[in-house]
Copies of this chain bind each other. A is one copy, B any other.
Amino acid sequence: MAVTIKDVAKLANVAPSTVSRVIANSPRISEKTKQKVRKAMDKLGYHPNFIARSLASQSTQAIGLIMPSSTDVVFQNPFFPTVLRGISEGAHEKHYALHMTTGKTDEEIYNGVVQMVQGGRVDGVVLLYSKIEDKVLSFLQDGDYPFTVIGKPFRDVEEITHVDNDNFRAAKEATDYLIELGHTHIAFVGGDLNLVVTVERLLGYEKALRAADIELDNDYVIHEEFLKEGGQEAVRELLSLEKPPTALVVADDLMALGVLNTLDEMGISVPDDISIISFNNVLLSEMSRPPLTSVDINIFDLGYQAAKSLIQMVEDPKEPTKRIIIPHQIIKRHSCSVTAR
């Protein structure tokens, strides 16, 4: 069995409690004993046992990550490695470890969360997605357990600490940009409507059109499960409308990549025949042909701030709920041009 605090105590000729205090670097221990104890720890190769510590102190120094369904396409999105990096860095700075749950079905995920939370494995949790009517979220709220969500909560926005972009405004600006370029026939290609981010971006798009006195056209709004044949179909239909759009607002870079391919197959050129602006500014967006004009949403910061604010909450339960808005910025590349018509 591994070396424990007692072994150290014995070797250093002090009480276990003293060793404990040395570990915590308590100021009420003489420098001399600290030295002595530290030497003993080194000699024995002692490492404190987190589990025991957690039990005694009722805190795990770990935060839980709740991912979307692993079978879901969004799971494949480069968004995740990047938020993960941000969360990881935020947690690391405060010496918190990371615990994860994933699952195939919503049921699996839910159970995983319940276990993790009730089982006391973590001190708090960050929800890496925000969808409407989420059982997991309700559970977290009911147990008033410390948690943050990345994205905008479907409801109780004021009561839930979250880190988000202003996706409504971002989408409006993206659409405005196309309008400025002279486009009036602008379509919206969105993803899963259960994700709050999708609806926010859709609303922003609509707002921009209305503000510019451009009529909304239902045929101009599609939601594709990108990569699926259905997605290609949708794009094809869009382009075969009587009055096909000259520009597309696409809710996600990865989707934009799919659209780009469909367009290419159809012999339609971007940006000559049609302009595209998308969101997230993921690595891929600069690797596509043409490189995508995309709204950078600072994914890393989203994660970083989520971790930071969660840790604040667990360390100070009186911490007020807050909403952190991460800035966005249009990165202009080569998928948009002045309208041809």
Contacts and interface: CB of A to CB of B under 8 A. Distances in A.
Given A49-B119, A283-B227, A98 B97 contact: no
B51 A120 contact: yes
Q: How many copies does the complex hold?
A: 2
Interface string A74-109: 011010111011001100100001111111100010
B119 A48 contact: yes
A266 interface: no
A65 B119 CA distance: 20
Contact of A102 (B48, B62, B84): B84
A120 B50 contact: yes
B80 A114 contact: no
B85 A75 contact: yes
Interface in A233-270: 257-258, 260-261, 264
A62 B120 CA distance: 13
A52 interface: yes
B99 A100 contact: yes
A81 B76 contact: yes
A76 B78 contact: yes
B289 A264 contact: yes
Given A47-B119, A51-B54, A80-B81, 20 more contacts: A47-B114, A49-B119, A49-B120, A50-B115, A51-B60, A51-B119, A51-B121, A70-B85, A70-B88, A75-B81, A76-B81, A76-B82, A89-B104, A92-B103, A97-B121, A100-B100, A260-B289, A261-B287, A284-B284, A289-B289
A41 to B, nearest CB: 12
B85 A102 contact: yes
A246 B107 CA distance: 51
A97 B75 contact: no
A97 B104 contact: no
5 contacts: A50-B121, A51-B119, A97-B99, A99-B100, A227-B287
Contact of A115 (B47, B60, B260, B284): B47
A89 B100 CA distance: 12
